[in-house]
Amino acid sequence: MNIEDFRNYCISKKGVTEEFPFDAKTLVFKVMGKMFALSGLERVPSQANLKCDPERAIALREEHDGSITAGYHMSKVHWNTMVLEQLPPKLILELIDHSYDLVVSKFTKKLKAEFDALE
């Protein structure tokens, strides 16, 4: 999967915005203001960080040694870094959904109500 496909899938999800809060090279995707994905646009090969359940994160790192590693410049417990071109696109889409769902599941009642009101 290339970075454009990664970006297009992320921004197609409900309540998602994209921004550059850190620098002009790091694209961040947020759902209702909460970060669920980011990518260093100048990294070669293309990489992305996604939030992940801690136990699943460890299993993914073991199963995809070198292609999925502990989150670069992130919490090593809750984030993974993945090399996009080295993984099946179906797995990447599943992990984007997983990251997004983890963040949505932690919304406050107020934020969840705002999210639910979106079309």
Q: Which domains does the chain have, with CATH numbers?
A: 3-117 (3.90.1150.30)
User: How far apart, in whole angstroms, are the C-alpha atoms of residue 9 and residue 25?
Assistant: 19
Both tokens of residue 52?
Answer: 């992940």
H-type helices in the chain, by residue range? 3-11, 54-63, 89-105, 109-117
Taking the complete model, does pTM exceed 0.85, yes or no? yes
At residue 75 the predicted structure's pLDDT band, cuts being 50, 70 and 90, is: confident
- Which pLDDT value is given to residue 102? 97
- Which pLDDT value is given to residue 113? 96
